[in-house]
Amino acid sequence: MRQPLETAARQCSSHGQVFALSLLSPHTARDRRTELRERLERRMGKLVSKSWQESKLLWHIAFPAILTAVFQFSIGFVTVGFVGHIGQVELAAVTVVENVIEGFAYGVLLGMGSALETLCGQAVGAGQVEMLGVYIQRSWLICIATAAALAPTYVFTAGILRGLRQPGDIADVAGRYTRWVIPQLFAYAANFPLQKFFQSQSKVWAMTFISGAALALHVVLNYVFLTRLGHGLVAAALVGNLTWWLIILAQFAYLVSGCFPDAWKGFSMLAFKNLTAFVKLSLASAVMLCLELWYYTAVLILVGLLKNAKLQVDVMSVCINYQLWTLMVALGFNAAVSVRVSNELGANRPKAAKFAVAMAVSTSAFIGAIFMAVFFIWRKQLPRFFSDDADVLREAAKLGFLLAGTIFLNSIQPVLSGVAIGAGWQSLVAFINIGCYYLVGIPLGVLFGFKLKLNAMGIWVGMSLGTLLQTAILAFISFRTKWERQAMLAEERIREWGGRNDDALPSTTSTADNENNVDR
């Protein structure tokens, strides 16, 4: 009798424990859910805080960089506007010069100066800002030598334009004008290294104020000499020269003012060392950027070969003009993400570099989506700012769908190019650009535009497909890259480029090395 009672007691005790646990389990589950929710909230709070901090760093560089780009782009825009009141031939001549001759030189010099973004940004991140003064002097030497090599294109502009089938009167006027604007060519050579020097240290507002003041003065001087005093094309060229060299002198004064005591210690003979390797990286940067800039020139040339070419070129010009203005925002983020990536890699913070890429791409894509919606909704009204011709307005409205999509793509693509510059992938991206733009985009444009008789729309479709492919490849590389490896390469680059190794060449300028750094 006693044993069954003990068994019953044990069973009752067991049931009591189960009952007690059953009473506690809802509280335990609730506590567990609360703990998970609090943990998620903490993580989200950290992510929001981190995103906010990174966004501030990006906008601190991007916003003034956007304004600087707009101000400097507007200098040529103002010149064309005032010259247009002199005569139609003068207007056409200056427009051709700015888009063909100066556009070519501008692209080359911008590319040659972009090597400084990689080197200065990573040196700043590593805390070795004393290298920046030597780097900028090397870049000046290379860019000025490049400008001297490009000067003959300014001297022989008339012959070049005649060879491109431009009207003789326009070619002759353009030839006279370009001889007077040769000083601007050397101003570009001095300007880009200065900009990259300031941007790498996130000191960009001074550039913005200088460019804004120069633009205002440029408007006043053009009004006085061209409108009030009635001087001609030579006066327009001289005013442009004065404006650009005032920008250079003001930026140089800022450089030597004592605001950069560690980065600028005066001119040094070290600038003449390691020039061979510096030239190679500069050439890779130039090829990468020029292949992008000349893509639109090639597209315009193709459009000029279509039937009813004048109408087709006018339509394409309207679309490209709008695209260029929206591109200013993306170029601001191009500069910002280049600085952020190079700084973080130089500081050996690969995760921060990867996060900066994600933030820059998402922010620029969001802005691009807004622009895309605006151009999609007002695709019929916006072309009226550039033309009153009914045929141009009708055809431009048809291209509005494609323009909206291309604007969105071009809000992402320059940012990814900035990532490539910050990480030192210029050679790799140059090969990607050749394949996507010139082996895919242009042949498809020829196929759609000429063979399928879709005219400007077909050429634009081909161009957009080339851009889409290039953007997809760069996105894959950027988000699959082993950033820890990139930080190690940045450290090696900084060590090699201290001015002591004459033959050092950054390993990241090798296509094979870059391909090995992408996760398979």
- DSSP states of 300-331: HHHHHTSTTHHHHHHHHHHHHHHHHHHHHHHH
518: phi then psi, degrees, rounded to nearest 5: -100, 130
Separation of CA 267 from chain center: 30
Helix or strand holding residue 16 (H, E): helix 2-83
Paired strand residues for 518 = 481
The CA-atom distances, in angstroms, between 33 and each of 22, 26, 27 are 17, 10, 10
Residues 489-517 have a mean pLDDT of 53
The answer to whether 427 touches 284, Cβ cutoff 8 Å, is: yes
Residue 501: the pLDDT is 41
Give yes or no for residue 143 having a pLDDT over 60.
yes
* pLDDT tens-digit map of 169-200: 888 888 999 999 999 999 999 999 999 999 98
Average of per-residue pLDDT values in the chain: 83
Torsion on CA atoms 338, 342, 344, 345, rounded to nearest 10: 140
Give yes or no for residue 310 having a pLDDT over 80.
no
Residue 25: the pLDDT is 56
Residues 319-328 have a mean pLDDT of 79
Residues 127-150 have a mean pLDDT of 91
Q: How many residues does the chain have?
A: 520
List the single range of 352-356, 368-372, 489-493 with lowest mean pLDDT. Answer: 489-493
Confidence label for 491 from pLDDT (cuts 50, 70 and 90): confident
C-alpha span between 199 and 399 (Å, rounded): 36
Residues whose CB falls within 8 Å of the CB of residue 423, separated by 6 or more in sequence, listed in order = 118, 341, 342, 345, 353, 481, 486, 490, 508
Q: Please, where are the H alpha helices in 84-181?
A: 88-96, 102-113, 115-125, 132-155, 157-163, 168-180
The answer to whether 75 touches 157, Cβ cutoff 8 Å, is: no
Give yes or no for residue 353 having a pLDDT over 60.
yes
Residue 362: the pLDDT is 92
The answer to whether 373 touches 403, Cβ cutoff 8 Å, is: no
Phi-psi bin for 258: left (phi > 0), alpha (psi -120 to 50), beta? left
Residues whose CB falls within 8 Å of the CB of residue 495, separated by 6 or more in sequence, listed in order = none
Scan for tokens 């006066």, then name that residue: 235
Residue 43: the pLDDT is 78
Confidence label for 252 from pLDDT (cuts 50, 70 and 90): very high
Separation of CA 234 from chain center: 33
Residue 73, SS3 per DSSP: helix
Confidence label for 89 from pLDDT (cuts 50, 70 and 90): confident
C-alpha span between 217 and 206 (Å, rounded): 17
Scan for tokens 């506590």, then name that residue: 31
| Residue ranges covered by each domain of the chain | 64-272, 277-520
Give yes or no for residue 509 having a pLDDT over 50.
no
User: In this predicted model, which residue has the larger pLDDT, 257 or 81?
Assistant: 257
Residues 63-67 have a mean pLDDT of 91
424: phi then psi, degrees, rounded to nearest 5: 90, 35
- DSSP states of 343-392: HHHHTT-HHHHHHHHHHHHHHHHHHHHHHHHHHHHTTTTGGGGT---HHH
C-alpha span between 187 and 104 (Å, rounded): 15
Q: pLDDT exceeding 90 applies to what percent of the chain? A: 31
C-alpha span between 473 and 429 (Å, rounded): 10
pTM for the full predicted model: 0.79
Confidence label for 9 from pLDDT (cuts 50, 70 and 90): very low
Joined together, the tokens standing for residue 228 give: 């009030």
Confidence label for 30 from pLDDT (cuts 50, 70 and 90): low
Residue 118: the pLDDT is 83
